[in-house]
Amino acid sequence: MDARQKAVLGILFFLLGATYLLAQDFWSEPFEKWNRNQVSRMLNDSPWSQIQTLSSSLSGKNSGLQGEKEIFNKFTVRFFSALPVREAYVRMMQILNKYDEMAPEQRREFESRFKRALSLDVSNRVIVALEFASNDPDASREMKRFFETARTETIKQSVYLISQHLNRVELLEYFPPSSDGTGAKFVFPRTLNGQPVIAAGDKELRFEFEVPLNDRGGQSNRPKLLVNFKVPKMFYKGELSY
């Protein structure tokens, strides 16, 4: 092999290595290194978090909301039991509190405050967090009231995890939003009749929620939120995380 061939081969290996590095997801790095944009992506557009917007047109000449002719109801669904989501919340608090600039003793104190979030025992439960935002003030008030007053027994028939091999998995427990800003929590069993919610070969896991809002466009039927998560992508540090 002459010098020119060696040079070409070296460039080829470099390009292949660069392509491999670019293909790696940012979460292959320790969460303490994630930047603000990466945290936002983990919490809003990742294998464990998705945003789904339900829209409806307003009818009538003067039906606009502050000049708008369409209602946008935005739902953010996250697997809070998935470690990368909880790490993203902790990293978000680190960034907001300038953790990277703290003295060692301040870091230790900060870490002790958020230790519980990172070590949460989810061995027998799946926790789905839900947040809501809308350009319709009435819808915002209705959903806020719903989240605050809902109880496990009153919403059991309107929210499910849909397992590919078990079908509907019923709600175990519901928790209203707390001051930590992580949204309402829907808790499901991790196993049902001795079988895991996700089994080998499953391609997706779905969150289903009957939205407690009537369509402002004049329809009486309540919209249904259906969010699909791709199981093969829900691996974190070599393990399935959900």
Is residue 97 assigned to a domain?
Answer: yes
Contact 205, 212 (CB under 8 A): no
Average pLDDT over residues 163-191: 95
Is residue 31 assigned to a domain?
Answer: yes
pLDDT at residue number 196 = 95
Instruction: Give the tens place of pLDDT for each residue, 38-68.
Output: 999 999 999 999 999 998 776 544 444 555 5
Number of structural domains found in the chain: 1
In the predicted model, is pLDDT for residue 145 greater than 50? yes
Distances (CA, A) of 190 to 126, 137, 197: 6, 36, 6
The separation between CA 194 and the C-alpha centre of its own chain, rounded to angstroms, equals 26
Phi, psi of 214 (to 5 degrees): -80, 145
- As given in the structure block, the two tokens for residue 127 are 């926790």
Is residue 13 assigned to a domain?
Answer: no
Please report where in the chains the tokens 């007053």 appear, as a residue. Answer: 149
Is residue 227 assigned to a domain?
Answer: yes
pLDDT at residue number 127 = 98
User: Does 57 or 91 have the greater pLDDT score?
Assistant: 91
pLDDT at residue number 68 = 58
Is residue 18 assigned to a domain?
Answer: no
User: Does 97 or 63 have the greater pLDDT score?
Assistant: 97
Show the DSSP H helices in 45-151 as ranges. Answer: 83-96, 104-113, 115-118, 137-149
Instruction: Give the tens place of pLDDT for each residue, 213-241.
Output: 865 555 556 789 999 999 999 999 999 99
Average pLDDT, the chain: 86
Instruction: Give the tens place of pLDDT for each residue, 24-36.
Output: 689 999 999 999 9
Task: Give the span between the Cα atoms of 80 and 38, in whole angstroms.
Answer: 17
User: With b meaning 16 or more CB within 10 Å and e meaning fewer, what string describes 12-44?
Assistant: eeeeeeeeeeeeeeebeeebeebeeebbebbbe
Is residue 172 assigned to a domain?
Answer: yes
Task: Give the span between the Cα atoms of 22 and 80, in whole angstroms.
Answer: 27
List the Cα angle 55/56/62 in 5-degree steps: 130
Is residue 19 assigned to a domain?
Answer: no
Name the residue range of residue 163's domain.
26-240
Please give the model's pTM, rounded to 2 decimal places. Answer: 0.84
Is residue 201 assigned to a domain?
Answer: yes
In the predicted model, is pLDDT for residue 23 greater than 60? no
